[in-house]
């Protein structure tokens, strides 16, 4: 990762988009301090309600997870333990974060399943994950995540492997919970449509860096960066003529093993210039809308972060 920086207000939602391998999930895991041993945070700051999280030790951070920050993992089909019932999942989580047990944990478990829209919650507590549909499993994952009443919910590809109808229901659920629980959401997705439905602000990532940052309307309707424009153009249109070829971004994303000294998107960019392969552009801001591209005025660094 290189210079990923953003803030998030209480009750708002930020979407992080980009193709696979751009660093979206790595940002989410870094915020939770759940990176693999081969990765490390070499600098920077993660502040939650004025508390610096990077200065916390492992035990202190364990108490932050679930209570202050919660994560909905990417694949609802495999994220739950197949040998535990839904009730056991919930009771274990409630015992850890809320200190509940017995009847209190049972009552809270039923309440959580109702909160996420699962019908007949009493009977679902005795079910195993394989007995639930993909959409219901994702609802259970969300129930587990919000059980500790977190200030921030990170949803990493929450609609993966779900059909379009269920995707819409999950997004509606997240939007409702954000309002009811007054929590903030970071939505990680490769799907621009998913982000457009929930996020107030959108960060577009490529090559481990943010290449565009703005409100959802600015980024999705008035994109500035060639990569953002290419992503939007690559979306299939439902009213396109039969046989119309899909737009594709040529080439493949580079490896993230070294810090770039020039624009990471340059080898694939249709409007690249000589300077693109020689110098690394910085986010240039026009009000609250920024893009890291040499075609945007201020990319040399004169632009100021709002």
The alpha carbon of 163 is separated from its chain's Cα centroid by a whole number of angstroms, namely: 19
Inside any domain, residue 241? no
Inside any domain, residue 259? no
Q: In which residue are the tokens 């019908």 written? A: 119
Domain extent, residue 106, equals 41-190
Inside any domain, residue 286? no
Q: How many domains does the chain have?
A: 1
pLDDT for the residue 175:
96
pLDDT for the residue 193:
87
Please, which residues bridge with residue 204 across strands? 17, 212
Give the DSSP H/E element, type plus range, for residue 218: helix 216-221
Give the CA radius of gyration of the chain: 21
pLDDT for the residue 77:
81
pLDDT for the residue 305:
42
Inside any domain, residue 290? no
What six digits make up the tokens of 126? Answer: 């005795």
Inside any domain, residue 113? yes
Contacts of 104 (CB under 8 A, 6+ apart): none
Inside any domain, residue 169? yes
For residues 43 and 126, is the Cβ–Cβ distance under 8 A? no
Inside any domain, residue 196? no
What is this structure's pTM? 0.92
Which residues of the chain are modeled with pLDDT < 50? 302-306
Inside any domain, residue 282? no
pLDDT for the residue 306:
42
pLDDT for the residue 303:
42
Burial class, 61, CB count within 10 angstroms (exposed 0-12 / middle 13-18 / buried 19+): middle
CATH number for position 183: 3.40.50.300
């Amino acid at each position: 990762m290189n210079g990923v920086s953003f803030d998030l207000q209480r009750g708002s939602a930020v979407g992080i988009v980009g193709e696979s391998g751009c660093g979206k999930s790595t940002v989410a895991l870094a915020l939770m301090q759940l990176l693999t041993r081969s990765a490390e945070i070499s600098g920077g700051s993660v502040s939650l309600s004025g508390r610096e999280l990077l200065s916390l030790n492992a035990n202190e951070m364990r108490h932050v997870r679930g209570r202050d920050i919660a994560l909905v993992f990417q694949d609802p089909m495999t994220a739950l333990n197949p040998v535990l019932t839904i009730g056991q999942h919930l009771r274990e989580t409630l015992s850890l974060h809320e200190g509940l047990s017995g009847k209190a944990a049972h009552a809270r478990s039923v309440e959580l399943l109702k909160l996420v829209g699962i019908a007949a919650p009493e009977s679902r507590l005795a079910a195993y994950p394989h007995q639930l549909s993909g959409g219901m499993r994702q609802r259970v994952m969300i129930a587990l995540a919000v059980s500790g009443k977190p200030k921030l919910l990170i949803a990493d590809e929450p609609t993966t492997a779900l059909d379009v109808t269920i995707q819409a229901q999950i997004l509606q659920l997240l939007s409702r919970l954000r309002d009811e629980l007054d929590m903030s959401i970071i939505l990680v997705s490769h799907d621009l449509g998913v982000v457009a439905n929930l996020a107030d602000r959108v960060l577009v990532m490529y090559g481990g860096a943010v290449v565009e940052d703005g409100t959802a309307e600015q980024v999705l309707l008035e994109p500035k960066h060639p990569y953002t424009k290419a992503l939007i153009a690559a979306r299939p249109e439902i009213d396109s003529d039969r046989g119309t070829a899909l737009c594709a971004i040529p080439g493949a994303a580079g490896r993230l093993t070294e810090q770039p000294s020039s624009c990471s998107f340059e080898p694939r960019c249709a409007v690249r210039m000589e300077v693109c392969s020689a110098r690394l552009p910085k986010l240039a801001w026009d009000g609250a809308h920024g893009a890291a591209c040499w075609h945007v005025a201020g990319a040399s660094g004169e632009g100021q972060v709002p």
